[in-house]
Amino acid sequence: MSERSATEARSESPTVLPAESFALSEIVSALSFALDLTEDAIPGHAVRCCLLGTRIGRELGLNDAALADLYYALLLKDIGCSSNAARMSQILGGDDRKAKREVKLVDWTRPTLAGLKMAWVNALPNGRFWQRARRVLDLSLHQKRNNVEVISIRCERGAGIARKIGMSAECARAIYCLDEHWDGAGYPDHLQAEAIPLLARILGVAQHLDVFAGDKDRRTAIETMRKRSGSWFDPELVRIVVSLDLSGALWAGCGAPDERARAVALEPGDAQFINAEKADRICEAFADVVDAKSPFTYRHCLDVAQVAEGIALQLGMTPRKRQFIYRAGLLHDLGKLRVPNSILDKPSPLDAAEWLVVREHPLLSQQILARMPAFAGIAAVTGRHHERLDGSGYPLGLKGEELSLEDRILCVADVYGALSENRPYRSGLPTEEIVAIFAREAPKRLDPHCVEALVAYLENKEEATPRAAGQTLNG
């Protein structure tokens, strides 16, 4: 089947093919906005932490190598946070993202009145009084055990992903130790004082500053920093923060429209550039971040990427276009990091309000990726992966000629992934049943050429698989 035969009934796609090299700071700072979603943070949280933490590191006199490790650790500090979302939702019986945001404003290392109030608000919010009371009592009795479990998951996963994409051991170690405290009351290993890596101490300070400044104000952030000096935070780092604040240098650019551009310009030493292969590894890592959010999406993004590329191969597309499709498949669900697990893992039908949250995720994916000019074409395709030929899809209700070949390929691959995987409300369907569903859906809702290519790919899967994850196309 030729690529031309599948495109005769549509206008030419405006696809922008990816460049051969990327500025590492550009791609990581853009994708960090996806990580902000996992913690319900104010957009740009990781970028602002990067501004704050890098200034602290420079004031300390760190050399360029250490500053570079710090810089990328600040941008990637939350890369393991999606992995504990399902467990946190189970423990609370509520919205994991809301709880993650609010817990940063209280002392979660020990029982406190503020912590009790936070637990009451977030535990089983739709439950009866006695059910909520029993859940809060259970949370109080097992607070330390729960802390160890959810923080250890995040720490280990975050450090592992950082190593996978080629970050240094020092960068990975800083991410692992993010929640350690100066007095030894932190997690996961209760490290104390200078046993905590310096870069991790800076990460903790920068995170605190931005969270409190965003949810309260900058004065409260500094005052809380002073109060927790010697308990949560390294007193020397607190001294530096106060000094930078008094000089007016600490917050420069934070909250400004160009805060990401400022963070990119702040990269220590010479700008780092990566090739297409490493760009693919980073895209795969962020696919892992999305898939880790729910046990029902395990490998979804990677599988969609591989199936989409397989369809493209069957359609005779060039290696460069297949690489484009592969990356779009990896990153199409970034916006789902905003969806609470109380919705993602819900075994019963979603209500209208919950559907509104779900339907926003394609445009969120598009907005994140659009921050990178080289990914502009990929951004557009990810934003349309739930559209249908008859206009019945979402979020824009596009149809027919408005959907490019790449849109149609990703749509078919995503539908196949959703049908073949287990969901909270059903088990994955066998291939024969999926093919029958596709036969009913094409040509009204799904492109018949893409469906035909999918069937051909599935029939010859082992031979037709264009590559395994970790291999980069040339050409």
- Domain residue extents for the chain: 4-18+275-464, 39-82+149-255
Specify the DSSP element, H or E, that contains 440: helix 431-441
Q: What is residue 229's three-state secondary structure?
A: strand
User: Are 58 and 67 contacting, i.e. CB atoms less than 8 angstroms apart?
Assistant: yes
Angle, vertex CA 230, rays to CA 227 and CA 231, nearest 5: 75
| Rounded Cα gap, residues 378 and 297, in angstroms | 21
Local structure of 67: helix, strand or coil: helix
pTM score, two decimals?
A: 0.89
39-82+149-255 matches 4-18+275-464 in CATH topology:
yes
pLDDT in the model for residue 284: 96
pLDDT band, residue 142 (cuts 50/70/90) = confident
Buried b (16+ CB within 10 A) or exposed e, 369-389: bbbbebbbbbbbbbbbbbbbb
Confidence of residue 12 (pLDDT cuts 50, 70, 90): very low
1 vs 315: CA distance, rounded Å: 6
Residues that are catalytic: 336
State residue 143's pLDDT score. Answer: 82
Q: What is the per-residue burial (b if ≥16 Cβ within 10 Å, else e) of 126-148? A: eeeeeebeebbeebeeebeebbe
Per-residue pLDDT band for 138 (boundaries 50, 70, 90) equals confident
> Which range has the top average pLDDT, 122-131, 237-246, 337-346, 462-471?
237-246
Predicted confidence at residue 423, as pLDDT, reads 81
CATH topology of domain 39-82+149-255: Hypothetical protein af1432 (1.10.3210)
Contact 38, 280 (CB under 8 A): no
pLDDT at 179 over 50: yes
Q: Which CATH architecture has domain 4-18+275-464?
A: Orthogonal Bundle (1.10)
441 vs 340: CA distance, rounded Å: 30
**CA angle, 31 then 346 then 42, to 5°:** 30
Rounded to an integer, the average pLDDT of 377-387 is 97
**Phi and psi torsions of 399, nearest 5°:** -155, 160
Mean pLDDT within 125-153: 86
User: What is the distance between the alpha carbons of residues 57 and 269, in angstroms, rounded to a whole number?
Assistant: 13
DSSP state letters, 141-173: HTHHHHHHHHHHHHHHHHHHHHHHTT--HHHHH
